[in-house]
Chains A and B, each alone.
Chain A
């Protein structure tokens, strides 16, 4: 038990190696204990070597900055959607809003990507009419028929109020459970407030995100 001494008493301050070998002679003043964290900007002992200049360096610098600037403008730079405004304004109907989160503004080759990543592409303006792609094993949904009729009636639409957007996003989520779906969706501008219209679609699983969890 006495062998497990904690260094107090006899032989205080002894270490396993010979202190002389390390260079601390007897009686040498050891540096004072450090009482505070090291300074945020310690003194620079020697300055760094200057950057190599020259044509190559200049050109690469310009390239770097140009690249940064260019990439911000490309559709790959995903900007968060515009914050939802608290009051719905009349002018919203006529403003060309920035691309909504759920829209993808470039055309990836969907054949090369996992199917679950496919996002419906929204067109905000008059666009070429792509016929709705329907596969044999996808039954013509009643919802889609209504949509098709309405879109045929109104070709040029703009983004409408938030309520309709929300409703549509919800519908989008459900429709992605199907295997194939149409590529375009025209925003609707009707006098009927769509949120009052309940076509029974909201009954059942909400979106494909929770597909793996049990449905009670």
Chain B
């Protein structure tokens, strides 16, 4: 784990779970898996604090545990999972676009709580949706339930590993920790529940019948008084599936920009048909016959069968090989290449919506550097002189740019000796791009960027803390005054408590914080692309 990743994980934990959890997470990240007592000693926290932190981390799948042969339990932080916290807004937004408000809130609740039973999730979401509805209206559980089922069917949510059903025997000592497991086939099976009920408003006092599951108003979160029928069955968000969706989206929009809308729709249809049949590490979808594709096209697209065949042929012929022809049965079978390898991402002109990522990042160095870089990607190895010639950049400038990129490890030098004694004057020095190294370096930079952004944002908030508190107090006073029906003049007087310049300051603060937050989201998109690329390149045989 690099320092940059560690720092980012630290910040994410601290921002979302507080300093105690951060300390515990930090200790695990820096020194690796360890048992509870070492953790207590390391962090200097009270044992109960550490236990509480571990419970929180395990609940959110950020830490896993393993029983050691000697009986102690080792805890291990999952760094890649912690970094995903950055992507939560994107997951929630995607769920919204696919499954509307119930989908959005279900995914949000599952992310906020780590994992939940279905009954609990449905009840919460129904309550939340009811809050937003007009007076007198409530959200029925069935609609939320059916959205839940759809999320499970398309694998966006999955069941958590379960506690094994072992018979309770008084003689056998209970294990120090349960060994949770789940079979692949059970992962998306929704328990047969008949969740009947409607959402409740928080301040409604009507005691209408609530159906089987009384979501009693309790002091604690996540509490259902009686044992629900799906006791022990918990659900979590399947992040990998969302990632697959993001990749598909990128592919479709790349095709749309390279070819046309219709071809992108064809590919989108093919991907949709293969959603759950494509294994997570596969490079291609299962073969689909053109007849099947024709039948599955969305209603709005009434293109003829022959036209479809032409599109498929075009796609298969394209040098970027988005679509491959795998056979002739059923009017021709085709697959979509879903693996992101060097061929797809970096060959110019780049198909992806982030137009050839690396040259974009080279914007920092200048468009000429970007030109040189693209050139090197295409030609693989070039001498200094050749670079100058092909890129049509004067020698001095070209050298300067090459050395800057060299110092940043974006390009590297390859020595090819002409003579056995490797004499420098008789050796070729070729510039080349090592794509993986460059990608890793950029990813590292991205982690650093996000960490810097977060720190800056926190700094801004701290600097203006006094003013923010004042503004919150004034808001509270205004709200209570409005509730008790104060006059406009009185309200105005209270508003005046915040002076003009202070208001300006608050405005500026809000603008800055928004900008920083939006930037963090933006950098996470880049992180996703780079991580996917590195991961898929490493998987290739």
Does B bind A? yes
Give me the interface of A with B, judged by CB distance under 8 Å: 16-18, 21-23, 45-46, 48-49, 51-52, 56-57, 59-61, 63-65, 67-68, 70-71, 74-80, 101-102, 104-109, 111-119, 125, 135-137, 169, 173, 179, 207, 209-212
Query: Is A23 within 8 A of B220, CB to CB?
Result: no
Question: Interface code B184-223, partner A: CB below 8 Å = 1, 0 otherwise?
Answer: 0000000000000000000000000000000000011111
Known pairs A17-B425, A116-B177 / 17 extra A-B pairs, C-beta < 8 Å: A18-B425, A21-B425, A45-B366, A59-B96, A60-B89, A63-B93, A71-B16, A76-B59, A80-B49, A104-B55, A105-B220, A106-B221, A114-B67, A116-B176, A117-B51, A119-B51, A179-B174
Question: Which of chain B's residues have a CB closer than 8 A to the CB of A52?
Answer: 522
In the A-B complex, the 6 residue pairs with the smallest Cβ-Cβ separation, listed nearest first, are A114-B177, A102-B48, A17-B424, A63-B89, A78-B20, A64-B89
Q: Is B528 an interface residue (CB 8 A)?
A: no
Query: Is B18 within 8 A of A79, CB to CB?
Result: yes
**Shortest distance from the beta carbon of B279 to any chain A beta carbon, whole Å:** 28
Query: Is B37 within 8 A of A101, CB to CB?
Result: no
Q: Assign chain B's interface to a size class.
A: 35 or more
From 32 to 80 in chain B, residues with beta carbon under 8 angstroms from any chain A beta carbon are 36-37, 40, 46-49, 51-56, 58-60, 65, 67, 73
With beta carbons under 8 angstroms apart, the residue of A49, A68, A79 that contacts B16 is A68
**Shortest distance from the beta carbon of A74 to any chain B beta carbon, whole Å:** 7
Q: Is B364 an interface residue (CB 8 A)?
A: yes
Across the interface, name the chain A residue whose C-beta is closest to B173: A179
Query: Is A74 within 8 A of B221, CB to CB?
Result: yes
Question: Which of chain B's residues have a CB closer than 8 A to the CB of A104?
Answer: 52, 55
With beta carbons under 8 angstroms apart, the residue of B170, B222, B232 that contacts A106 is B222
How far, in angstroms, from A101 to B180 measured CA to CA in the complex?
A: 28
Question: Which of chain A's residues have a CB closer than 8 A to the CB of B517?
Answer: 61, 64-65
How far, in angstroms, from A209 to B127 measured CA to CA in the complex?
A: 43
Q: Is B147 an interface residue (CB 8 A)?
A: no
How far, in angstroms, from A51 to B514 measured CA to CA in the complex?
A: 11
**Shortest distance from the beta carbon of B377 to any chain A beta carbon, whole Å:** 21
**Shortest distance from the beta carbon of B413 to any chain A beta carbon, whole Å:** 11
Q: Is B19 an interface residue (CB 8 A)?
A: yes
Evaluate whether A106 and B220 lie within 8 angstroms (CB atoms) in the complex, with A115-B177, A116-B36 already known: yes
With beta carbons under 8 angstroms apart, the residue of A68, A113, A115, A212 that contacts B37 is A212
How far, in angstroms, from A169 to B49 measured CA to CA in the complex?
A: 12
How far, in angstroms, from A136 to B170 measured CA to CA in the complex?
A: 8
